[in-house]
C-alpha cells in the first residue's frame, strides 16, 4: 500500500521536525497507581483523553449513568448552610459550600464502603466514624506533596442482646491486585492489630466498544466488547454490590476447570543469530466447532474461517529480549492432529527461513492444571520485570486469589463464557487474560472474626491509604488538579447503623472545592454527622497554591 | 529529569529508567498509539512494547532526540499492530482514512522513477517540509506523524478545522508535485 509506505517513511523525517510538531503535552504527574504497569495504565487514559476527545464527561455534560450524589445535605454540627456550589468551571473558592452533584472523574478510585458481615441477620447495631487525613507525604512515592488521604474508618459494633454474637465482619475496599500492597487496610480490633483473611471479588467493571467518529452524532462506541470499562462512579459499585451476589461469589470456591485438554509446550528454541525477530510458527487445520485453541506466549495468529486453517507464531526467545519463554498451546475438544512447524525471518511470517527449531511436547491434562502452571509462571517469573511490580507488590498478592481471578475471568468473559464471552478475549490469548487479572479493578474484602459479648461492644478500625479520583493533568479538563473522595453509607451492609460521622484532619494544605458533607474549614467545621438516608457523600479538594 | 539522565539510567541498567520514561513521555507515547489504534488495550500494549524495545536498545544506542526516538518506536509498533488488527477485522477505521489521504501524495508512476530507500526518501521529505511555512509543516506532521484528528489539530493550534483541512490539502498536493519533480517512486 503506497499510503502505508509513505506513512512509515514519514516516521523517519528529521528529529527536529518531529519535536517541533509535537502536540502540546504535559508530562503526567497525577499518577495514582503503583509503579510501571499502573503508571502506564494511567498514562494511557491520560493520552486518550488528551488527544481523542474521548467522551468522558464531567457533570456539566449530559450523561445518563446516574453518577450524581444524593441530594440531601447532612447536618453539619456547627450548622453550616446548604447553598449550592457555583459553576464547576468557576475558579475554586475557599470552602465552597454544598453542591448537589459531585464530579464524574476520568479516573475513579471508588468510594469508602461500609463494613458488612457474612451473616445476614446479626442483631448488632453499629456506629461509624470516617476520618480523612490529608497530611502531605502519605503517597507511597515518598514525595512530600499531598496526594491521596489516609482514611481511618472506625466502627463500634454494639450487641444489645443478652447473648454473645459472633460474626465474620467483612470490610470491602476497591482496588486491584497490583496496587494491593499500597491499598490493603490495616486492621485493629479493640486496639489490637489483626491479620484478617482476604477475599477478592471478580472483575468489577464491564466491557465496551471502540470509540469511532459518529458524524453528526459525535463520537460513538461501536458494538464490540474490545475495551475494558472500569467502574466510573459509585452507582456502578451500587449496581455491582447491592444484590449480594458479588460478595457471595467472592466467598465461594474458585470455579473448577477440570476440563480435559491437550497441551503442546514449545521449548529448546533455536534460530539463526542474524535475525532480530526470528519467528517460529505452527500451522494446523481444525473444525472450530469441535476444537478451541488457547495460547500462552504466542505473539501472532491467523486463521481462515472457511477452511479451518490456523497459524500461531512467536518470536524465538534469544535470552536478551526477555520474551516469555513459556510457549503453550492449549487444545480443548478434539485434538489438532497433524501440524507443521515453520521458521520465518520476522513476525510477519512472510519469508520463510531455515534454522528455526524447537521441541514440541504434547501432554494430556486438565485446564485447571494448565492454568495453574501458567499463572504460577506469570506470578513467579514474569510479573516483576514486565509490569514493574516490585517484590513487595507481588508478595502482597495471595497467589490463590490471583489464580482464582484468572479462572473467573475465563469463565465469566473468556472462551468458556458462552454467550457472555467478550471480544477482548475471543482470540484465546491466556497471556492477556492472566495479566489483566492483576490490574483489573475489583472489590476486595478483609474478613475479621468478631465476638461481641452480650450487652457490650467491640471497636474495629480499618486504616488505609485512599487514592483520589482525578482528571488527568494534560487533559485540559477544568477539573485537573481536583481530588475526589467519596463514601457510601449503607450500601450492601447488613449492619444496622445508628450513627455515622465524618471528619477531616491535617487540612492546612487543602481547600474544599465541592462537597455534600457540610465541612467548613474557614469556620473550623471539620466534623459532621451524616444523614443515614443519604446513600453517597463526596468531597472534592484542591491543594492550596 | 533531563533526557540525558534518563538515558544514563538505561546505560546503568537501572529499571527506574522505565518509570522515568513513563512519567515524562507516557502520555506522549499514548497519544501516538491511540491516534493510530483507537483501542485502550492495543495502545497500552504498544506503549509497553516501546519501553521494552527501548530497554533492549539502550545500550548500545544513545539517542540524541529521545522524545522523537521513542515516538518513532511507538508509531512503528502501532502501525504493525493496526495491520494485525485489520487482518483480524478488529478496531476502527481511522487509520484507513489517514492512509487514504496519504495516497493522494503518491506520484503517478511514469516508469523512470527512482526507487529510493526509506531513509533517502525521508531525507527528501524532510527537505520539503523545511521549505513549508512552520504552521503548514506542523499541521502536516500532526496529522501524518502523530495521527491526530482534524479537530484536535485545530484545537491545539487555535484555528478552525476548515483551515486545517485546506492546509493539509495544499501540502499533500505540493508534496506530490515535489516527489514527482524528484522522480521518486513510492
Domain endpoint, select from A408, A439, A470: A439
Contact state of A41 with B44 under an 8 Å Cβ cutoff: yes
From A197's Cα to the closest Cα of chain B, the distance in A is 32
Contact state of B40 with A44 under an 8 Å Cβ cutoff: yes
State which CATH number among 3.40.50.10490, 3.40.50.360, 1.10.10.10, 1.10.10.1100 fits the domain covering B98-181: 1.10.10.10
Q: Does A229 touch chain B (CB under 8 A)?
A: no
Alpha-carbon torsion A415, A421, A422, A423, what sign? positive
Which grid cell is A91? 475558579
Top mean-pLDDT range of A6-15, A189-198, B72-81, B116-125 = A189-198
Phi/psi at A316 (nearest 5 deg)? -70, 120
What integer pLDDT is reported at residue A75 of this predicted model? 38
Q: Could you report the predicted ipTM of this complex, rounded to two decimals?
A: 0.80
H helix count then E strand count, chain B: 9, 0
Q: Does A305 touch chain B (CB under 8 A)?
A: no
The vertex-B46 CA angle with B45 and B50, nearest 5°, equals 115
Q: What is the rounded CA–CA span in Å between residue A175 and residue B11?
A: 35
Collapsing DSSP to helix, strand or coil, A169 comes out as strand
Contact state of A12 with B72 under an 8 Å Cβ cutoff: yes
What integer pLDDT is reported at residue A169 of this predicted model? 97
State yes or no: pLDDT of A47 exceeds 70.
no
Q: Indicate the domain borders of chain B.
A: 3-91, 98-181
Q: Does B92 touch chain A (CB under 8 A)?
A: yes
Tens digit of each residue's pLDDT (9 = 90 or more) over A345-404 = 887 788 899 999 999 999 999 999 999 999 998 888 766 655 556 777 888 899 999 999
A489 and A517: one domain?
A: yes
- Selected for mutation to probe chain B from A21, A302, A393 (highest B CB count within 10 Å) is A21
- Contact between A509 and A544 under an 8 Å Cβ cutoff? The reply is yes
Look up cell 509446550; give the residue: A265
A32 and A152: one domain?
A: yes
What integer pLDDT is reported at residue A24 of this predicted model? 62
What integer pLDDT is reported at residue A98 of this predicted model? 45
State yes or no: pLDDT of A183 exceeds 70.
yes
Number of Cβ atoms within 10 Å of the Cβ of A378:
24
State yes or no: pLDDT of A138 exceeds 50.
yes
Tens digit of each residue's pLDDT (9 = 90 or more) over A280-295 = 999 999 998 999 999 9
A370 and A498: one domain?
A: no
Collapsing DSSP to helix, strand or coil, A102 comes out as coil
Domain assignment present for residue A387? The answer is: yes
A166 and A312: one domain?
A: no
What integer pLDDT is reported at residue A321 of this predicted model? 47
Nearest to B68 among A18, A44, A212 (CB): A18
Domain assignment present for residue A450? The answer is: no
CA A340 vs CA A9, A290, A310, A346, B85: distances in Å: 36, 20, 11, 18, 24
Chain A residue with CA closest to B53: the answer is A321
State the average pLDDT for chain A. Answer: 81
A365 and A496: one domain?
A: no
Give the list of residues 6+ apart from residue A509 with CB closer than 8 angstroms, or none.
Answer: A134, A136, A146, A543, A544
A427 and A472: one domain?
A: no
Chain B, 10 to 29: residues with Cβ < 8 Å from chain A are: 15, 18-19, 22-29
Domain assignment present for residue A38? The answer is: yes
Q: What is the rounded CA–CA span in Å between residue A379 and residue A359?
A: 25
A411 and A533: one domain?
A: no
Alpha-carbon torsion A362, A363, A365, A370, what sign? negative
Q: Which residues of A are less than 8 Å from B41 in CB distance?
A: 226-228, 424, 432
From B104's Cα to the closest Cα of chain A, the distance in A is 8
Contacts A–B by Cβ distance under 8 A: 223
Please tell me the total count of domains within chain A: 2
Model confidence at A48, in pLDDT bands (50, 70, 90)? very low
Domain assignment present for residue A526? The answer is: yes
- Contact between A540 and A513 under an 8 Å Cβ cutoff? The reply is yes
Kindly state the helix (H) or strand (E) to which residue B10 belongs, with its residue range: helix B3-11
Helix %, strand %, coil % for chain A, to 5?
20, 35, 45
State yes or no: pLDDT of A36 exceeds 70.
no
A129 and A176: one domain?
A: yes
What integer pLDDT is reported at residue A330 of this predicted model? 97
What integer pLDDT is reported at residue A380 of this predicted model? 80
Greatest CA separation for chain A: 84
Model confidence at A315, in pLDDT bands (50, 70, 90)? confident
State yes or no: pLDDT of A27 exceeds 80.
no
From A66's Cα to the closest Cα of chain B, the distance in A is 24
> At what angle are helices A2-10 and B118-131 packed, to 10 degrees?
70
- For residue A500, give its domain range: 1-200+456-545
Q: Which residues of A are less than 8 Å from B106 in CB distance?
A: 2-3, 6
What integer pLDDT is reported at residue B123 of this predicted model? 87
- Contact between A177 and A405 under an 8 Å Cβ cutoff? The reply is yes
Per-residue pLDDT of chain B (186 residues; tens, 9 = 90+): 888 899 999 988 888 899 889 888 888 898 888 888 877 778 888 898 899 889 888 888 888 888 888 998 999 888 888 877 666 554 456 677 777 788 777 766 554 445 567 788 888 899 999 888 888 899 999 999 988 888 888 888 878 777 788 788 888 888 888 888 877 766
Nearest to B99 among A7, A31, A386 (CB): A7
Chain A, 419 to 458: residues with Cβ < 8 Å from chain B are: 423-424, 427, 432
Q: Does B31 touch chain A (CB under 8 A)?
A: yes
Model confidence at A41, in pLDDT bands (50, 70, 90)? very low
Which grid cell is A512? 474544599
Architecture of the B3-91 domain: Orthogonal Bundle (1.10)
Q: Which residues of A are less than 8 Å from B64 in CB distance?
A: 15
State yes or no: pLDDT of A44 exceeds 60.
no
State yes or no: pLDDT of A460 exceeds 80.
yes
- Selected for mutation to probe chain B from A45, A49, A51, A432 (highest B CB count within 10 Å) is A51
Phi/psi at B69 (nearest 5 deg)? -65, -45
A2 and A139: one domain?
A: yes
Strand partners, A130: A153, A502
A274 and A339: one domain?
A: yes
Q: Is A249 exposed, middle or buried (0-12, 13-18, 19+ CB in 10 A)?
A: middle
Chain B residue with CA closest to A25: the answer is B28
Chain B residue with CA closest to A302: the answer is B88
Domain assignment present for residue A400? The answer is: yes
From A310's Cα to the closest Cα of chain B, the distance in A is 12
Find the length of chain B: 186
Chain B, 126 to 145: residues with Cβ < 8 Å from chain A are: 126, 129-130, 134, 137-138, 140-142, 144-145
- Contact between A82 and A98 under an 8 Å Cβ cutoff? The reply is yes
Collapsing DSSP to helix, strand or coil, A496 comes out as strand
Q: Which residues of A are less than 8 Å from B102 in CB distance?
A: 2-4, 6-7, 10
Nearest to B22 among A22, A25, A43 (CB): A43
Nearest to B26 among A21, A39, A211 (CB): A39
- Contact between A46 and A515 under an 8 Å Cβ cutoff? The reply is no
Tens digit of each residue's pLDDT (9 = 90 or more) over A409-453 = 999 999 999 888 999 998 899 988 998 898 899 999 999 999 999
Contact state of A53 with B152 under an 8 Å Cβ cutoff: yes
What integer pLDDT is reported at residue B174 of this predicted model? 85
Tens digit of each residue's pLDDT (9 = 90 or more) over A203-246 = 999 998 876 655 445 566 777 888 888 999 999 999 999 999 99
Give the list of residues 6+ apart from residue A182 with CB closer than 8 angstroms, or none.
Answer: A34, A140, A465
Decide whether B3-91 matches B98-181 in CATH topology. no
Chain B residue with CA closest to A5: the answer is B186
Amino acid at each position: 500500500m503506497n499510503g502505508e509506505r509513505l506513512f512509515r517513511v514519514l516516521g523517519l523525517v528529521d528529529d527536529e521536525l518531529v519535536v517541533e510538531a509535537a502536540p502540546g503535552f504535559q508530562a503526567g504527574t497525577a499518577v495514582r497507581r503503583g509503579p510501571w504497569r499502573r503508571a502506564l495504565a494511567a498514562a494511557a487514559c491520560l493520552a486518550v483523553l488528551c488527544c481523542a476527545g474521548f467522551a468522558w464527561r464531567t457533570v456539566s455534560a449530559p450523561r445518563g449513568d446516574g453518577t450524581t450524589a444524593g441530594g440531601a445535605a447532612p447536618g453539619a454540627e456547627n450548622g453550616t448552610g446548604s447553598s449550592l456550589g457555583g459553576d464547576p468551571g468557576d475558579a475554586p473558592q475557599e470552602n465552597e459550600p454544598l453542591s448537589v452533584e459531585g464530579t464524574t472523574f476520568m479516573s475513579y478510585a471508588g468510594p469508602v464502603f461500609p463494613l458488612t458481615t457474612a451473616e445476614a441477620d446479626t442483631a448488632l447495631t453499629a456506629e461509624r466514624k470516617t476520618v480523612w487525613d490529608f497530611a502531605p507525604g502519605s503517597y507511597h512515592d515518598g514525595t512530600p506533596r499531598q496526594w491521596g488521604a489516609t482514611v481511618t474508618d472506625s466502627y463500634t459494633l454494639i450487641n444489645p442482646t443478652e447473648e454473645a454474637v459472633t460474626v465474620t465482619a467483612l470490610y470491602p475496599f476497591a482496588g486491584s491486585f497490583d496496587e494491593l500492597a499500597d491499598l490493603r487496610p490495616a486492621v485493629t480490633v479493640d486496639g489490637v492489630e489483626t491479620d484478617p483473611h482476604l477475599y477478592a471479588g471478580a472483575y468489577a467493571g464491564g466491557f465496551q466498544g471502540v470509540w469511532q467518529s459518529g458524524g453528526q452524532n459525535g463520537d460513538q462506541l461501536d458494538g464490540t466488547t474490545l475495551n475494558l470499562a472500569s467502574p466510573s462512579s459509585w452507582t456502578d459499585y451500587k449496581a455491582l454490590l447491592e444484590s449480594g451476589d458479588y460478595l457471595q461469589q467472592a466467598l465461594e470456591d474458585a470455579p473448577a476447570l477440570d476440563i480435559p485438554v491437550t497441551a503442546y509446550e514449545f521449548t529448546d528454541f533455536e534460530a539463526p543469530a542474524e535475525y532480530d525477530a526470528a519467528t517460529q510458527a505452527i500451522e494446523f487445520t481444525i473444525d472450530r466447532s469441535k476444537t478451541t485453541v488457547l495460547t500462552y506466549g504466542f505473539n501472532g495468529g491467523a486463521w481462515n474461517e472457511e477452511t479451518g486453517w490456523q497459524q500461531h507464531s512467536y518470536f524465538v526467545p534469544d535470552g536478551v529480549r526477555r520474551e516469555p519463554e513459556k510457549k503453550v498451546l492449549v487444545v480443548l475438544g478434539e485434538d489438532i492432529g497433524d501440524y507443521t512447524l515453520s521458521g520465518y525471518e520476522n513476525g510477519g511470517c512472510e519469508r520463510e527461513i531455515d534454522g528455526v527449531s524447537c521441541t514440541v511436547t504434547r501432554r494430556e491434562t486438565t485446564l485447571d492444571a494448565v492454568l495453574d502452571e501458567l499463572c504460577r509462571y506469570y506470578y513467579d517469573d514474569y510479573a516483576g520485570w514486565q509490569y514493574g511490580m516490585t517484590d513487595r507488590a507481588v508478595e502482597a498478592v495471595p497467589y490463590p486469589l490471583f489464580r482464582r481471578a484468572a479462572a473467573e475471568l475465563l469463565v465469566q468473559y473468556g472462551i468458556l463464557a458462552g454467550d457472555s464471552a467478550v471480544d477482548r478475549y475471543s482470540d484465546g490469548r491466556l497471556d492477556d487474560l492472566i495479566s489483566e487479572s492483576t490490574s483489573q479493578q475489583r472489590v476486595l474484602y478483609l474478613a475479621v472474626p468478631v465476638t461481641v459479648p452480650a450487652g457490650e461492644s467491640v471497636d474495629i478500625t480499618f486504616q488505609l491509604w485512599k487514592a483520589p479520583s482525578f482528571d488527568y493533568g494534560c487533559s485540559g479538563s477544568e477539573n485537573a488538579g481536583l481530588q475526589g473522595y467519596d463514601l457510601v453509607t449503607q450500601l450492601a451492609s447488613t449492619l444496622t447503623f445508628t450513627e455515622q460521622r465524618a471528619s477531616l484532619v491535617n487540612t492546612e494544605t487543602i481547600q474544599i472545592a465541592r462537597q455534600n458533607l457540610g465541612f467548613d474549614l474557614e469556620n473550623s467545621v471539620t466534623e459532621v454527622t451524616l444523614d443515614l438516608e443519604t446513600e453517597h457523600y463526596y468531597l472534592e479538594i484542591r491543594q492550596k497554591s | 529529569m533531563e533526557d540525558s539522565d534518563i538515558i544514563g539510567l538505561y546505560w546503568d541498567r537501572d529499571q527506574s529508567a522505565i518509570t522515568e520514561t513513563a512519567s515524562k513521555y507516557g502520555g506522549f507515547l499514548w497519544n501516538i498509539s491511540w491516534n493510530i489504534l483507537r483501542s485502550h488495550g492495543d495502545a497500552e500494549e504498544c506503549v509497553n512494547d516501546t519501553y521494552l524495545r527501548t530497554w533492549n536498545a539502550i545500550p548500545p544506542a544513545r539517542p540524541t532526540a529521545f522524545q522523537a526516538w521513542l515516538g518513532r518506536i511507538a508509531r512503528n509498533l502501532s502501525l504493525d499492530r493496526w495491520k494485525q488488527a485489520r487482518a483480524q477485522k478488529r478496531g476502527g477505521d481511522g487509520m484507513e482514512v489517514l492512509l487514504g489521504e496519504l495516497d493522494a501524495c503518491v506520484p503517478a508512476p511514469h516508469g523512470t522513477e527512482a526507487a529510493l530507500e526509506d531513509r533517502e526518501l525521508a531525507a527528501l521529505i524532510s527537505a520539503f517540509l523545511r521549505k513549508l511555512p512552520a504552521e503548514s509543516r506542523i499541521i502536516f506532521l500532526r496529522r501524518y506523524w502523530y495521527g491526530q484528528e482534524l479537530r484536535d489539530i485545530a484545537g491545539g493550534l487555535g484555528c478552525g478545522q476548515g483551515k486545517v483541512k485546506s492546509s493539509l490539502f495544499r501540502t499533500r498536493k505540493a508534496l506530490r508535485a515535489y516527489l514527482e519533480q524528484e522522480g521518486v517512486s513510492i
